């Protein structure tokens, strides 16, 4: 069954279970169990980030899916075993395990993000083999942390497999604002140090321009803020939603 979404804007945060968001976003006394339901009253998407470290249990995923309303979308970050330990090598069994688990999210499953390690330089052959092994019917995005991957041949390879190039800002580095595949995917890790700082209104407007260009091209748009310090991520995400909605 296809998990591809029609053209739309999906803006949210990378994760939601942050105790230091009590006060800036959640109420001071909010129970952790109530955070996702509260989050889903303000956003229609979230990026599951802890799946990078450990694959959530099936019962946990089912509970998350039952907590949010219809139309909500979970993006899921792929296991570091696939991206950082195996470096996309011999992917068949790890992919079978990973996708077999996250499929329980059903129609609420959105894109899957593969974040590659910063120390791993471009390997087009390995990437092509991995792309060939991906199951059909899913939106898969790739965040390349090493600049050697920022190459036209890699973009063409992604595009030929309908895979998405993830644009990002991380620790002062902005990736090329390129497009590949069936969607637009933006990750904003903070305007300054890693996961820190708040985006200004001017900077949000600039990023909104990129999102609009993707949307006008008929692509569904996904954007996730990862600057969790001081609850900046949800506040910046809400502000960006307002910018998009105003136009």
Please give the tally of structural domains in the chain: 1
Q: Classify residue 205: in a domain, yes or no.
A: yes
Confidence of residue 208 (pLDDT cuts 50, 70, 90): very high
Q: Which residue has the higher pLDDT, 157 or 193?
A: 157
Is the pLDDT at 22 greater than 50? The verdict is yes
Inform me whether the pLDDT recorded for 6 exceeds 80: no
pLDDT at 4 over 60: no
> Which distant-in-sequence residues (6+ apart) come within 8 Å of 154 by Cβ?
122, 124, 127, 144
Residue 4 domain-assigned (yes or no)? no
Domain around 177: 9-245
Mean pLDDT over each residue of the chain, to the nearest integer:
95
pLDDT tier at 181 (50, 70, 90 boundaries)? Answer: very high
Mean pLDDT of 163-182: 95
pTM exceeds 0.75: yes
Position 53 in a domain: yes
Domain for residue 45, yes or no? yes
- Give ∠ CA 9-135-142 in degrees, rounded to 5: 50
**What average pLDDT does the segment 178-203 reach?**
93
pLDDT value at residue 2: 38
Residue 1 lies in a domain: no
Tell whether the model's pLDDT for residue 7 goes beyond 80.
no
CATH number of 43's domain: 3.20.20.410
């Amino acid at each position: 069954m296809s998990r591809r979404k029609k053209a739309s804007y999906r803006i949210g945060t990378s994760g939601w279970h942050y105790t230091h968001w009590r006060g800036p976003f959640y109420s001071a006394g909010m129970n952790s169990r109530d955070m996702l339901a509260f989050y889903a009253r303000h956003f229609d998407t979230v990026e599951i980030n802890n799946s990078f470290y450990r694959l959530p249990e099936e019962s946990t995923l089912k509970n998350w899916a039952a907590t949010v309303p219809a139309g909500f979308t979970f993006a899921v970050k792929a296991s570091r075993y696939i991206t950082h330990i195996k470096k996309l090598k011999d992917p068949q069994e790890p992919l079978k395990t990973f996708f077999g688990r996250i499929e329980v999210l059903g129609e609420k499953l959105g894109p899957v993000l593969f974040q590659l390690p910063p120390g791993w330089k471009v390997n087009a052959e390995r990437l092509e083999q991995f792309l060939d092994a991906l199951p059909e019917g899913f939106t898969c995005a790739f965040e390349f942390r090493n600049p050697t991957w920022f190459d036209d041949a890699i973009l063409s390879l992604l595009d030929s497999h309908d895979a998405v190039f993830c644009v990002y800002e991380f620790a002062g580095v902005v990736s090329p604002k390129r497009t590949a595949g069936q969607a637009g995917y933006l990750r904003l890790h903070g305007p300054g140090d890693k996961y820190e700082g708040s985006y200004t209104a001017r900077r949000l407007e600039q990023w909104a321009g990129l999102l609009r260009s993707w949307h006008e091209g008929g692509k569904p748009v996904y954007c996730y803020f990862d600057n969790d310090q001081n609850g900046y991520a949800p506040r910046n995400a809400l502000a960006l939603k307002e910018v998009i909605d105003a136009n």
